[in-house]
Amino acid sequence: MPAIVDAWDLVRRNLRSQSGAKVFDQWLKPAVLAAGSDEETVRIGLPSPFMTNYVKSHFGDRLRLEFRQLMPSVRSVVVETSTKALVPPSANDESPATTAAPAPSVPRVLGADRPLAAAPAKPAREGERFAFDPRFTFDRFVADATNQVAFNAARLLAAEGPVRFSPLYLHGATGQGKTHLAHAIGHAFLEAHPAGTAIYMPAERFMFEFVKAVRERDTFAFKARLRSVDLLVIDDLQFIAGKDSTQEECFHTVNEFMTMGKRLVICADRSPRMLEGIDPKLVGRLASGLVADIRPPEYALRRAILAAKLADMPQVSVPDEVLELLAMRITANIRELEGALNRLVAYAQLIGEAVTMDFALQTLGEVLKGPQRRITIDEIQKAVSAHFEVKQLDLVSERRAVAIARPRQIAMYLAKKLTTRSLPEIGRKFGNRDHSTVIHAVKRIEELRDKDREIDTAVRGLMRQLEG
């Protein structure tokens, strides 16, 4: 298979040039073109599970882009633990990449954040079909009440049939699963529409490519490339705040997709009305679609995510008590939760020890000690009364004036989010109120946080103060 062998040699040279000799020698030099590779699926073998996990997470996208540039037929690059090489490593790894530069007709990726160059004979959007991360699919997304609306809306948008809403606007804090859903939409859409085309583009890359097109006086090609696809996903929209020209182009792109009835997905860290530094007319377009939030994961979801993650590691054993410890202590960020499990498993494999409770506490001490302090409802009431300049007794009284009722609802909301107290217990702490009153307060504050910037800022500040 000379084509794939030659491509592998060029990929190694390019990666050595991009990453530097030290990083390349430590992580990529041991990699081999593994047996089972063909012109559609490239298999890269590493000698240990730890090296496999590291290369997969740090170089997986780069490897796929490199091979796609050299061989458009490549659909995926699998990084696995294997020493069965299809060909031995090149003897020229130590040579500078310039000693055997690729032929002029072969494009070369200079970095994962650079735009893809298309083969002249094929449409530019064809390569974008494979820009979605293979790890992020609907099957691997764990759903519950905190993300169910977003999950169902994402599946509906990707399915066959007419477009029922566009854009789909997903928002939530960092590490809650927005990007996972964005990539899952792309995979499901392309599976349901084999002839369809799709692009996943972080807002930062949107800005980079637009500015580059302006400088090169080639904005027409940029516009045509994005607007010709059937599905466009723009992630982390908040990063174009204050970038007027980029926002203007983004507005026209959104408007074009809505006018043509095509699928559009936008992800950001807050609801449209809460975005700062974004043109109001763009905010209006985004808010006119389906807006779905992803709330911080509750314990049951965190535990289920760890179980699903562990299922992908069939030869790894982690006791239930360790998984429960991680789920209880790491509460705000799914990405941090998964990272803690990965780190625990990697360290155990490196030193050849079994994962136990003592090992987890020793390895993840600084990660686990933060949320250990128990926050009490009394502390919450004191903090809320001080912030809103009301008496603590007013929070447990029967007074219904807005100046008292709103801080009381915020205090109930914080008690539900920051303590392990049940709804009836919280109600008793607020003047023997029924648990349904607590539920109403929590829902009301969640709604107001999406609409009222002042309340959202107050809640964020109180959370930081209480958790700090």
What single-letter amino acid sits at 170? L
What the block records as the tokens of 237 is: 């929209």
Closest listed residue to residue 211, CA positions, set 170, 244, 252? 244
468 labeled binding residue: no
Closest listed residue to residue 311, CA positions, set 336, 343, 345? 345
Residue 29, burial from CB neighbour count under 10 angstroms (0-12, 13-18, 19+): middle
Backbone CA torsion sign across 397, 403, 405, 411: negative
**Angstrom distance (rounded) from CA 2 to CA 99:** 20
Closest listed residue to residue 430, CA positions, set 379, 382, 381, 385? 381
For residue 200, count other CB atoms closer than 10 A to its CB. Answer: 21
Asked whether the beta carbons of 43 and 34 are under 8 A apart, the reply is yes
Bridge-based pairing state of the strands 231-235 and 198-202: parallel
User: Which backbone phi and psi does 41 adopt, to 5 degrees?
Assistant: -125, 115
Distance from chain centroid for Cα 256: 26
Beta strands in 192-278 (DSSP E): 198-202, 231-235, 263-268
175 labeled binding residue: yes
56 labeled binding residue: no
431 labeled binding residue: no
Residue 402, burial from CB neighbour count under 10 angstroms (0-12, 13-18, 19+): exposed
What the block records as the tokens of 16 is: 């050595």
Asked whether the beta carbons of 433 and 401 are under 8 A apart, the reply is no
Asked whether the beta carbons of 322 and 344 are under 8 A apart, the reply is yes
**Angstrom distance (rounded) from CA 418 to CA 371:** 10
Closest listed residue to residue 346, CA positions, set 82, 84, 135, 81? 81
How far is residue 85 from each of residues 35, 44, 90, measured CA to CA in Å? Answer: 5, 9, 12
Residue stretches of the annotated binding site for ATP: 175, 177-179
- Residue ranges of the binding site: 175, 177-179
